[in-house]
Amino acid sequence: MLILVRHGQTGANARGLLCGRADLPLTDLGRHQARELAAALPRPSRVVSSPLRRARETAAALAPDAVEVDERWIEMDYGDLDGAVPADVDAGTWRRWRTDPDFVPAGGESLAAVGVRVREACHELADDAARGDVVVVSHVSPIKAAVAWALGVDDTTAWRMFLADAGVCRIDTGGPVPRLLTFSVAG
């Protein structure tokens, strides 16, 4: 099973900010969420994490000595919009971002680029996940891209999903095609 875990809460998440590549720590609630995830999830054969602190802290609660860091699971680069309040982003930018997967916010990364790197990572983990539980601790955009991979849908489908802090998604990779079993379930 490929188990995708969104990191626990950060201060920026609590304030509803766009939180891309900022390397933020977990809040007290986020650390509590990580401990609850560790207690609720099965002992995985592998734990893979984004390099960002909030993901590594969450992953460390699951496997203190055996976390593999994979850059492909890093959050989308929001560029100049990192740290912005979503309501402050102009309507034209949102419209373009939501309809054009190749749109790149100033200094950032496109949704399509996130999809390419995450699909590659999913393909590489699929065989191991078919034989045992592989947990990936990541962020909203990469997890949504992995779900889009599992469903065989376009990258822009990500805009129709909501993934909670410490939300868990499960993808069965044991069959001829990946199957999404759960989405954004509490640990």
Backbone φ/ψ region at 109: left (φ over 0), alpha (ψ -120 to 50), beta: beta
Nearest CA-CA partner of 135 in 113, 168, 94: 168
**Whether 75 is catalytic:** yes
> Rounded to an integer, what distance in angstroms lies between the CA atom of residue 84 and that of residue 19?
8
Out of 57, 75, 109, 139, the active site residue is 75
The region that residue 156 occupies, defined by phi over 0 for left and psi between -120 and 50 for alpha, beta otherwise, is alpha
DSSP strand E in the chain: where?
A: 2-6, 46-49, 67-69, 134-138, 167-172, 179-186
Angle of CA points 34, 57, 54, to nearest 5°: 95
Residues noted as catalytic: 7, 75
